[in-house]
Amino acid sequence: MSELFKQAISKSRIMSESSKLPEGEIALITESEQVKLPQKKYFRQRAHSNPLSDHELDYPSNPAQMNWSQHYPKYITEEAQVKQVEVVDIGCGYGGLLINLASILPNTLSLGMEIRVKVSTYVRTRISKLRLQQSLQESAAGKTEVEEKKGDYQNIACIRANAMKHMPNFFRKGQLSKAFILFPDPHFKKQKLKWRVVSPLLLAEYAFVLAPDALVYTITDVLEVHEWMVKCFQEHPSFERVPASELADDPCYKATFVTTEEGMKVARNGGEKHPAVFRRIAD
């Protein structure tokens, strides 16, 4: 290990970086260790969770009460807010898309919302480690500010939250420019259709927090769920489907196919993926 790298991970540096991590996250790094990313096998949890049950969740009474500084310390402090969250990944899973959004949308704050305890903890830990890892590498290599913007992971965060219940608690009217609903739980049983993350009732809430011309990206490997989502969006007066021809050069659209754990699993098994993107129509 070079002397320069040893200096970069000195105790004072680690303590400085640790103070920027989300609450509950601690960087356990010594001078003789490199930053190690968390392993999924220690954070496995059942795929399905009842979104209508009373989970123990922390959420603000309204968007003005939300403290974003602990999640985006580079851009938001308790005294000033340079940026606001504009992109949300609903049910972000293990954060595959979210991590990629850091570089796809480098000047935008993106948020993953995940209801499962272990999974959301994994994503937060992963982001914290990536931030620290990137910071140490930049210090050692002497990267410029321009290069730093390519992916320091300061523009992404994850919270444990129930998007089906509390979207208006976190976001103001018209705040979001993009939303992602990727490989959602299918909930096949008739009595569980109300558990689906896309429904006529929920689309009204999504429409409230989405700005005019905002895009909602959906994809699933279950044809029935795809048809259900398309039907819900097309029948709702606040949305219209975006033609495939307009999406050919959209990096976010391309990322929905290949960045998530579920998407990669479908590809390995030779399954089909059914995408659809919808635009928020101005009221």
pLDDT band at 191 (very low <50, low <70, confident <90, very high): low
**What does each C-alpha distance from 171 to 64, 84, 123, 218 come to in angstroms?**
9, 10, 21, 20
pLDDT at residue 142, as a whole number: 65
Q: Which residue has the tokens 């509950």?
A: 24
213-238: per-residue pLDDT in tens? 999 999 999 999 999 999 999 999 99
Q: Are strands 239-241 and 176-182 parallel, antiparallel or unpaired?
A: unpaired
20 has a pLDDT exceeding 90: no
Long-range contacts of 239-243 (CB under 8 A, 24+ apart): 239/203, 239/207, 239/278, 239/279, 239/280, 239/281, 240/278, 240/279, 240/281, 241/276, 241/277, 241/278, 241/279, 242/215, 242/277, 242/278, 242/279
* Listed residue (112, 117, 129) closest to 43, CA to CA: 117
Amino acid at 48: H
* Listed residue (281, 8, 283, 266) closest to 137, CA to CA: 8
Which entry of 89, 152, 185, 249 is annotated as an active-site residue?
Answer: 185
Sheet holding 85-90, edge to edge: 156-160, 109-114, 85-90, 176-182, 210-220, 274-280, 239-241
pTM score above 0.85: no
DSSP state of 76: B
pLDDT at residue 39, as a whole number: 65
pLDDT at residue 216, as a whole number: 98
Computed over every residue of the chain, the mean pLDDT equals: 83
Q: Are 119 and 283 in contact (CB under 8 A)?
A: no
Would residue 185 show up in a list of annotated catalytic residues for this protein?
yes
* Listed residue (182, 195, 164) closest to 262, CA to CA: 182
pLDDT at residue 133, as a whole number: 87
Query: What are the residues whose beta carbons fall under 8 Å from the beta carbon of 229, sequence distance 6 or more?
Result: 181, 198, 218, 220, 276
Sign of CA dihedral 199, 201, 202, 207: positive
Residue 81 backbone dihedrals phi, psi, to 5 degrees = -130, 110
Token digits of residue 120: 């959301």
Distance CA 252, CA 215 (A): 10
pLDDT at residue 5, as a whole number: 43
* Listed residue (120, 117, 71) closest to 94, CA to CA: 120
* Listed residue (209, 226, 202) closest to 274, CA to CA: 226
45-77: per-residue pLDDT in tens? 555 555 555 557 889 999 999 999 999 999 998
31 has a pLDDT exceeding 70: no
